[in-house]
Amino acid sequence: MAEEGKGEITQEQLEAFADSYASFNKIIQQLHQAYKDLEQKFENLNLELERTNLKLRESLAEKEKVTNYLNNILESLTSGVLVVNLEEKIALFNRAAEEITGYKADEVLNRPYLEIMGKEVDLQSTPVHTLRAGTSHLNEEKEVLTKLQAKIPLGYSTSLLQDSEGNLLGAVEVFFDLSKIKKLEEEIARVRTLAALGEMAATVAHEVKNPLGGISGFADLLNRDIEEGDPRKNYVRKVIEGVDILNRIVMNLLDYTRSIKLDLRPIDFKRFLEEIVGFFEMDILREKKNIKIERFYPSEKCGCFLDAEKFKQVVLNLLYNASQALPDGGLIQLSASLEARNIENKIPGSTAEQMLCLRIKDNGIGMSEEVKDKLFTPFFTTKEKGTGLGLSTVKKIVQAHKGEIKVDSKLGKGTTVTIFIPKSG
Ligand code: ADP
Ligand code: MG
């Protein structure tokens, strides 16, 4: 029986099989559903992740924008900004700081502040002191050494640096170069002294003028009375010569101390220059000096507003100085041009003005540093018969025209004087 039963499936078996198939099917279906659920969950998670990623990217971009913005502000500041961290090392050094100190940020970042900026400086005036003692500085002054070991005056402020929760991060120092301001202050003090001296000199000159006139008149009378051949005639001539020189000095002085009133008129600058240079050339020919003059004029018309009489003094003074710097002859180059430029000491950023530029260059004896320093001081001269009033008068006239004068000179090589005058007067 058992043998017969082999290979046959009983009803029971069939049912059991059907049952298990059904439950297997169910399990499969359940698994399938679970898989689908998982898939859905995975997709949802993925979506969420993507959203979070996007948000993160956005917030990073936003953060970068703010950082860039702050960095740009820091870099565009004309004040130097530096930060020292808690280890007293430099953690930030903006572009203005680089320009003022001469150090590049790469050279100083992460290096001890005192090693870089603390040389020959009172510790009290450093942000390191602020960090250690907690005291800040506001608008104080100190002198620091630049990378090239030059001492420069700085205006500076320091304060502690904290994060939004009040944790100490370091100290910040903001500073700016006071050299220009100091120079201006010195110049103002110098001008004040000169003005006071000028006033006094003018009074003295005025007082001296009358007795001088008397001496000169009586000397003339004496001269007339003394016979030719009389040895005393020579003495009188010496007196007259001396009085003449004194008179010239007094007149120059009075001229110099008088305040300038300009009579501005439209001028064709090239023609104006040509007239003066023509006159000067004749003088050179007469004195048989071996001096060549080259001119460089722009092709366009050079109309401008000038006080012709006064400006003529400027050009002539410069030409004569150039020729006197060429005792053995040489070359004088005179050039005129129009340039757009900002005049010094004007508000930075203001638009450039059309300026008339006059340059007179000689290849003469040049000047020492000492001479260069005193160039514009009245009565400073290195010449036996100089008055020392040429350049100070030139400067006065140029400044009255709201212009600027620059002198470049090398001993033994030559001198270039450049004048800028606003074209429109
Ligand atoms: P002065 O010509 O009467 O000496 P200035 O004021 O014109 O007075 O010049 C002052 C000094 O500046 C001169 O004595 C001279 O030493 C120097 N100087 C001016 N111009 C030149 C120049 N072109 N080359 C060399 N030195 C110059
Ligand atoms: Mg002179």
Q: How many domains does the chain have?
A: 4
Q: What is residue 269's predicted lDDT score, i.e. its pLDDT?
A: 92
CATH code for position 98: 3.30.450.20
CATH code for position 275: 3.30.565.10
Same domain membership, residue 321 and residue 269: yes
**Phi and psi at residue 182, in whole multiples of 5°?**
-60, -45
Same domain membership, residue 404 and residue 293: yes
How confident is the model over 167-171, as a mean pLDDT? 95
Q: What is residue 148's predicted lDDT score, i.e. its pLDDT?
A: 93
pTM over 0.85: no
How confident is the model over 383-405, as a mean pLDDT? 91
For residue 298 the two structure tokens come to 């722009």
Q: What is residue 90's predicted lDDT score, i.e. its pLDDT?
A: 97
Mutating to test ligand 1, I would choose from 380, 385, 389, 391 the residue with most ligand atoms within 8 A of its C-beta, which is 391
CB distance 362 to ligand 1 below 6 Å = yes
Same domain membership, residue 213 and residue 195: yes
pLDDT tens digit sequence for 1-34 = 444 556 688 898 889 888 989 999 999 999 999 9
Same domain membership, residue 276 and residue 402: yes
Count other Cβ atoms within 10 Å, centred on residue 321: 20
| Residue 347 pLDDT greater than 60, yes or no | no
What domain range is 324 assigned to?
A: 265-422
CB distance 391 to ligand 1 below 6 Å = yes
Nearest to 128 by CA among 176, 94, 85, 177: 85
Same domain membership, residue 285 and residue 166: no
CA of 296 to the centre of ligand 2 (A): 23
CA of 381 to the centre of ligand 1 (A): 6
Contact 388, 405 (CB under 8 A): no
CATH code for position 207: 1.10.287
Same domain membership, residue 213 and residue 163: no
Any idea which of 20-29, 86-95, 205-214, 413-422 has the lowest mean pLDDT? 205-214
Arithmetic mean of pLDDT over the chain: 89
Which domain-ending residue is among 161, 177, 193? Answer: 177
CA of 381 to the centre of ligand 2 (A): 8
